[in-house]
Every structure is written in structure tokens, then in C-alpha cells.
Structure 1
Amino acid sequence: MVQDTWQHQTVLLHEAVDALGIQPDGHYVDATFGRGGHSRLILEKLSASGRLTAFDKDPQAVAAAQELAASDGRFSIRHQGFCHLGELGVSTADGVLMDLGVSSPQIDDPERGFSFRHDGPLDMRMDTTRGQSVAQWLETAEVSTLAEVIREYGEERFAQQVAKAIDRRRQERGPLRTTRELAEVVAGAVKTREPGKDPATRTFQAFRIFINAELEELQQALEASLHVLRPGGQLVVISFHSLEDRMVKQFMARHSRAVVDRRVPFAEPAEMQLVRVRRVMPSEAEVQGNPRSRSAVMRVAERTEAPV
């Protein structure tokens, strides 16, 4: 049995599953299994003929999901990022849930390299079986590229200073290998920060988003959800930072109105594909009980009857 030393507390657990409007015989998608909090609650609400399909890139999450799949024939797991959502086929799901947060076991395990609070290998890959680690990327990344990534994905106003500090460190002492080494370099370059926020927060976020192509994958998954959802199906997305939430908000806004192509003034406007868009925030009680939920924003929309 897979054991996690680090416990994960699912954010907006009941709110997200309630927003799916579970039909007992329906087919639902947990696009980011994590440690399965949402999946297990969905399964509780499904009948014997209901189905749940989950996606995850993290091998540890997949191992935990495989245990669940072995004990419950209604559930299946795909070791893929949720950009592969469209492979499920057109109008095959009654609801899609995307929880975009990094799970506590990922953050708290020093070996994964996500956190500046614990020293460990500078990795940050969601899927440790493939791709380039942050340490490998930092060996050759140009200063201009570093600055752009830190600025765009971390919204860090000291991006240029951090990039130059990383380059100086590489030239003077060789490649950065650990999270502590990176955090120390960033701390030396970022002179001011909001009270209670570590100077390395934004840079670590930027590198994690970049190395995992998180925003590109989210955009692909959002577009795929329109094809996968049946009419009346619910799209539920929980995001944890402004870049993700802005993308989700703009996507739902764009598809919840009829769009006129100004290049073809006499053509019929493209029909809206989402309705009943709403936002849900964690309760004060949840934030007090789980501080990591404080930045969460959940957005919900319903697939219309309009053809894709």
C-alpha cells in the first residue's frame, strides 16, 4: 500500500463536489487526482453504474489512485496530464473538476524540490519520470530567459535582479543544485517583500509553472472540456494564484457570451457554450483550519445545449 508521510487536506472538498451536481449514473472526470480527496467523495455519490475517470502526472499520485482503482471498478486513472482530457471523446462526461493546487505531499516532501522551506534537490517536476528538472534547466538558461520566466510566471518585480544573481552564482560557484541554494540567491537579490512572505516565493512559483508548462496545459484542458462535457454538464475549476484564475475567468467569460466575428459582419455570431458562471471562495472556517486554502478561488460554469 502506498503511504504518504505528508497529509493532504483537500480544499473546497464539499463545495466542489456539490457544484458538479452528481447524477448517480453519470460519468465524471477528476482532472487532477492529487491524493484523491475529491475523487473519493464523488465515488460516494455514484451508483454501481456510475463512472469516474482521473488524470495525474505525478507517479506517487498515480500509485495511490491505482490502489483505489483496484478496489473500485467504477474508477480508472490515467498517468497523463489533464491536457489529454479531450481523448475521452465528445460529450462523454457529465462533469469535469480541475483542482490546480500543488498537493501538500508534493510541497512538504524535500525530495520533490517544490519548497524553499526544506532543502532538497532542485527538481519541481510534477512527473519525475520525464522532462527536465529546474536544476538542469538553470545550467544553460540565458539571463534574459530567466528574467522573462520570473517576471511572467512569478509576477516578480525584481525579476532582472534575480536572473542576474543566478547567473553570477553559476559563474562563481557552478550550477545550482538544491532548493536552499536557490532560495539564498533569491533572498540576496530581492530586498523587500510583503510581510510574512518569503523572498523566494515568486521565483519558486515561476520556475514550477514554467518547468511543468502549467499554463499551457491548463489552456488546452479548458478548451478540451467544452468537447468532453455533455449539455448541462458542469465545469468546476479551483485555482490558487492569479495567473491561473485570470485564465479560467477569461475562458469562462469568453464562452459565456455570443461572439461576433467582426471580420465577417453578416455572419451569425458564434453561440455561447457556457452559462451560469459563478465564483465560490473558501469559508472563514476552512481558511482557519487549512491556511493553504486562503488563496483558492473556485469558478463553476455549465455546458450549454449549443453544438461544439
Structure 2
Amino acid sequence: MWKVLLVEDEVFVRESVREIIAWEELGFSVSGEAGNGVEALEMMRRDTPDLVITDIIMPEMDGVELLKQARAEGYESRFVMLTCMSEFEYVRQAMEYGASNYILKLSMSVNSLRDTLRKIRQELLSREQMTGAGNAAGREGSAMEAGKAGSPAAAGSAQSPGPSSQRPADKGPLPLLHEAVTSHPEIQKILHYIHTNYAEDITVKSMSQYVVMGENYVSTLFKKKTGYTLIHYLHQVRVNHAIQYLCDSDLPVYEIGNRVGFVNDNYFIKIFKRFTTQTPSQYRQTVKGKVEEKRALL
């Protein structure tokens, strides 16, 4: 089941959306409800939904800002915006940030919501298929990327402070990380900055200011040139360096998270597990176990 988060400050509207649909028949389940964007973002951090259905106009944090913040933090959840006739400028902004669809609240019906959920279901299925194919292709392409090590872009990617990137084979592979190389000078400049300054506070906004380009344009262009959102790519870089620390040092997990740029311990653990399927502590124990097994065979 794909998880759905309902975000709406008017309780009766939220209840209506929840009750008019047989969610399970379409492969969804309502995993949470929130009354504004602030509550919703906290819930997303604890349990990331596959789909967020959110009102646009809400107190504290509106739906568009929720979408912006979610994208800035690397969440790839699908978004559907609930809107009134007078809110189309907000809808336009939401679509720029990757919202999948919008529904007019005044004309919302079972059919319109079902049609939207079918559309989202196809998007989620396509994403799963592409992720599986991309992982296989990435493993095959990693050796080819190594051959580009002499290029200026690859050299820039290698200049990262912290532990050495040379790792014994018995420590296991790093999670898949495409050392992205692009001919676009501004995006290449951002890539070099990320690999060199991954422990700093890096956001889409700060990178757009760094290359003197519009925030929305940078976000779209980075995804187009690398295949990743900027924050997703940053997380991959940080997790790779965290793995090096876990394998090559006895530093506590919270210290490693801080060194690679995660100021929140729980968030570090969540992102690390998203890429490796293990918590940092579990990963360290797995590596140590493999090393001990190999030593016992010698």
C-alpha cells in the first residue's frame, strides 16, 4: 500500500476526502492527517508518505510552502493540491515545484479523486520500475565512470575533506553514487561545491545564489542534468562519507552525522537508512562482522 498524508485545516473537508474513497482498492492507505504545513512536514520527517494531498491556503505554513520545504529536504513524495477558483497563482507555483495535479474543492467528486489517484498510482509504479532499472545500470556504469578520473570534473569531485576515498574490499561497497559530470558550467560548479563542502549548510537557495541563477531554474536544471534532485544528490555524498567514517574510525554515530553535515541525529539515521537499508550502527556492525569472518578464514 502507498501511504497518503492528508493536509487540510478544515476538518470536515479532510474527513470528506478520507471517507469518499475506498483507498485500499486503489492501492493506497491514509497513514496520517495534519491541519497545516508545519504539522505535515514534521510527520513527513517521521514517516515519509508516497502521496501528500494538501490544501493550498492554510495557517502557519501553506501548501505551496510545504511542497517547497519538502523538495528542499529531498522528499520525493507526490503532491496533489486542493484549491479554490481564486488560487490559481498558487497552483502555478505548486506545479513548478513538481506537484502532480490539483483538484478544485468546490467540484471535488469521487470520480475526480479516483482519476487523480489512478494517475498517481501510475507515476509511483513508473518510479519503482525506473529505480530498479537505474540501480542495475548504475552498477554497470560505475566502472566506466572510474575511467573519467583524469577529467577536471572528476578531479573536483574527489577533492572532499574527511577520510580517504580508498577503501579495502572487505569493507563492502559504498551506496550507489553517480559522480555526475555535465558540460553545463553552473551545474558542474554546484557539483564541485557539493563534493568539496558537503558538511556545510547547503540548500537549493544557497546554490542558486552561488551561481547567480533563479532558484526554480537551478532546481529543474540540476535534476535534468544529473537525474537527481540537488538535495538527494547531497544526501548521497554525505552518506558515502559517513560510511567511510563508520568503517575507518571509532567515532560515535552522532559525531559522524555532524561531521558530514547532518545536525539532527534522527534525520541522519533516517537518511542513512534510506540509502543503505541499515542504521549507521547496524552498518558498522555488519562491516566489522565481515572483517572478523575474513580474518578467521586466514
Same fold (TM over 0.5): no
Richer in strand (by share): 1
* Higher RCO (C-alpha 8 Å, min separation 6): 1
TM-score (norm 1): 0.29
TM-score, normalisation: structure 2: 0.30
Compare the two structures and name the one with the higher helix fraction.
2
